[in-house]
Amino acid sequence: MFGDKTDYTVILQRLKAGDQEAFEALYLHARERLYVYAFAILKDEAAAQDIVQELFADFWEDRLFQEIHTSLSAYLVRTVRNRSLDYIKREQGRVRIRRELLLNEGLAADVAGAWALGEEIEAAIGKLPPMAAKVFRLHYIEKLSHTEIAAQLHISSHTVSNHITKALKVLRENLKNI
């Protein structure tokens, strides 16, 4: 995938020895190529960026490299592919569930109006970058605190606040005509 002379075997050995500089070098070297691959699958810039960012965060924080016994570059490509396909499945599942609920409940006109509003809100949330949408849902729908969200997603409380602020700004702009 990476088509250059980078020695991923050495990088993997250094990672297993806890070398953070090896991780940083890998990140700087592979990030853009993995993003392009994720974008080719998802056709969504923000989602592709989030997939790659979350991969590297999990890769280092959860020490996923300890489980690699074959090619590091193949592992990264396969993981981006799998995470991208999982993202697509989740999004398709959400659409299917919304359709089934609408069809099965035979909603009255007032409820249909409320549903349409909910769909507009959900569509606006769907336009958010995946991590901002995830944090927004965890905070406003599942009613988790910033600390709980930070612990669940392995990010800082400050990052949670930034995602919520970003989400609210985008939602206000996208929903200002409602």
Mean pLDDT within 30-35: 93
Dihedral pair phi/psi, residue 129, rounded to 5°:
-55, 145
Residues 6 or more apart from 121 whose CB is under 8 A from it? 171, 175
Mean pLDDT value across residues 46-64: 90
Which pLDDT band holds residue 177 (cuts at 50, 70, 90)? confident
Which tens digits make up the pLDDT trace of 83-107? 999 999 988 888 788 777 666 665 4
Task: Pick left, alpha or beta for residue 18 (phi over 0 → left; psi -120 to 50 → alpha; otherwise beta).
Answer: left
Q: For residue range 124-161, what is the model confidence (pLDDT) as tens digits?
A: 888 889 999 999 889 988 899 999 999 999 999 999 99
Domains and CATH numbers, the chain: 1-106 (1.10.1740.10), 109-178 (1.10.10.10)
CA-closest candidate to residue 8, choices 64, 59, 75, 71: 71
Query: What mean pLDDT is reported for the chain?
Result: 85
Which pLDDT score is estimated for 109? 53
User: What is the token pair recorded at 157?
Assistant: 């409380």
